Amino acid sequence: MKRVQTVLSARDVRLAFAVSRFNERVTKALLEGALEAYARLGGDLEEAWTVWVPGSFELPLAAQKLAQRPEVDGVVALGAVIRGETPHFEHVSAQAAGGLMQAMLASQKPVAFGVLTTDTPEQAEARAGGKAGNKGAEALYSAVEMVQLLRALQTPG
């Protein structure tokens, strides 16, 4: 059986971060968690791109444009969609998820889904560095792992 193993290291992994300004208190915390994790894994913060977009709906286009850049190995998309009293939540969260998947497949580079979809602001805060950890850091780990996996799969033998 052939097995591909990777090391969770961000050394020489150049990432970009696309972050939603909507629910900025939460998304800033997600970004902080992601950047701290990136640095812990040996990533170069000076080389990282960070772009802010109006909301989670706009994340896919920014992620796709970032992923098209040759100096970017992967993208971490961070946002927070909190359920309200209308069906707007379902539309935005579904389109953000589908759009980010399309951006990943079109670019052939990892686009990590760090978009919270919660019922309440308290749930979002708990997942942005509170009791439930930091989902921004988790998205960062996914992006790094996928960059390393794709590199390993490109290596002959």
Active site residues: 88
Q: Where are the beta strands (DSSP E) in 1-155?
A: 15-20, 49-53, 74-82, 111-118, 128-130, 133-134
Q: Tell me the backbone φ, ψ of residue 82, rounded to 5 degrees.
A: -110, 130
**Residue 127 counted as an annotated binding residue:** yes
- Tabulate helix, strand, coil % of the chain (nearest 5): 50, 20, 30
**Residue 80 counted as an annotated binding residue:** yes
**Residue 56 counted as an annotated binding residue:** yes
Q: What is the DSSP letter of 108?
A: T
**Residue 58 counted as an annotated binding residue:** yes
**Residue 125 counted as an annotated binding residue:** no
- The Cα 51–Cα 74 span in angstroms is 14
**Residue 113 counted as an annotated binding residue:** yes
**Residue 6 counted as an annotated binding residue:** no
- From the annotation, which residues make up the binding site for (2S)-2-hydroxy-3-oxobutyl phosphate? 85-86, 127
The annotated binding site is made up of: 22, 56-58, 80-82, 85-86, 113, 127
Q: Which residues are annotated as a binding site for 5-amino-6-(D-ribitylamino)uracil?
A: 22, 56-58, 80-82, 113
